[in-house]
Amino acid sequence: MERELFIGIDAGGSETKLVACDGRGNLVGYGKGGPANHLSVGLERMKESLVEAMKDAGCDGLHFESAYIGYSGLGIWSPSELLEKIGHEVIDTDRLAINNDCYNALYGGFGGESGIVAVTGTGSMVLAIDEDGEVTRLGGWGHLLGDWGSGFRIAMDAIQVALKVHDGTVDSKLHDKMMNFFGFDSSRAIVRYFYIEQHSKSEIAAFAPVVIEAAVSGDREARRIVEANAIEVARTAVVMYNRVAVAPRLAVVGGLSKSEFFMEQLRWGVSGWLKLCKPLLQPVFGAVLIAMNNFRKVDKPVLERLSEISGEYEREGRL
């Protein structure tokens, strides 16, 4: 008898990650691809990223009992039927579900159990799942309207300060760091980069670690920016806790969760309200958990096995 196979994809704004496993939670394949937010890169590039991840994981030619794709940018305005069709073109499966990629993080945070999860990647949002499995979402307004506490927002806040330094109204090293990071050699180059050339949110958000490094080194403006964004995430998480009947615990995922300085500020912001916990699963493993649960309720040994592998990959820096 052939073993049952399951696949979960975290189709993010910066990159695509894929995990395939068997019914016992043993890893079958792990792969990566390019960005997959159809709103920013288009449907063709999105599909290419899914294919890249499939090939990287060695999953071509395999049949999966159940598949799940968490798409970045998926919302009520998205062509859901087309996104599902593309998923079927890439994955050989009779059972495919799609949703916004935030659910990868939510179900990975506490294995689908009650709690709050903050996503702090290229974009940001706070989600909660209550004892009845009901999901509530705050934030997630996108880079034009919100995304406080995201890599993109920290980067843009710092770039705006850098331009004030250029004008002589603020004192900070962020101007030099911006010029060096983006390779700007003139004011004209700055304007061209942001107003004429086509650059993704993830390319801009990549400046955030430089801003955090400057904050840690003592740059007052950089510190103010990072602290303000971390506190905004904390404030949203506390509002969520006071609004929804949910376990008083918070897991944080996304690139900013790897910054000790950012997490220190966030921990201070939720102190007395929420216990900061390490996510049970990283988002891509949350995606495969959803795929498995859609086929059959996952039992504790399988969940523990997924958590073990997720932890190994995180420690080894492979995620």
Over range 244-269, report the average pLDDT. 95
pTM value is: 0.88
- Give the other-Cβ count within 10 Å of 47's Cβ: 18
- Residue 253's pLDDT band, with cuts at 50, 70 and 90, is very high
- Residue 76's pLDDT band, with cuts at 50, 70 and 90, is low
Over range 296-304, report the average pLDDT. 93
The whole-number pLDDT of residue 39 equals 83
Give percent above pLDDT 90 in the chain. Answer: 82
Over range 44-53, report the average pLDDT. 97
- Residue 27's pLDDT band, with cuts at 50, 70 and 90, is very high
Token pair recorded at residue 51 = 């294919």
The whole-number pLDDT of residue 259 equals 96
Residue-wise pLDDT for 195-246, tens only, equals 999 888 889 999 999 999 999 999 999 999 999 999 999 999 999 999 999 9
The whole-number pLDDT of residue 72 equals 86
- Residue 73's pLDDT band, with cuts at 50, 70 and 90, is confident
The answer on pLDDT for 310 being more than 80 is yes
Residue-wise pLDDT for 176-200, tens only, equals 999 999 999 999 999 999 999 988 8
Over range 233-262, report the average pLDDT. 96
Over range 96-108, report the average pLDDT. 93
The whole-number pLDDT of residue 37 equals 87
Structural domains of the chain, with CATH: 5-110+280-315 (3.30.420.40), 113-279 (3.30.420.40)
Among 3-7, 18-22, 75-79, 293-297, the least confident range: 75-79
Residue-wise pLDDT for 131-142, tens only, equals 998 999 999 888
The whole-number pLDDT of residue 97 equals 97
The whole-number pLDDT of residue 16 equals 96
Return mean pLDDT, the chain. 94
Among 2-16, 155-169, 240-254, 262-276, the least confident range: 2-16
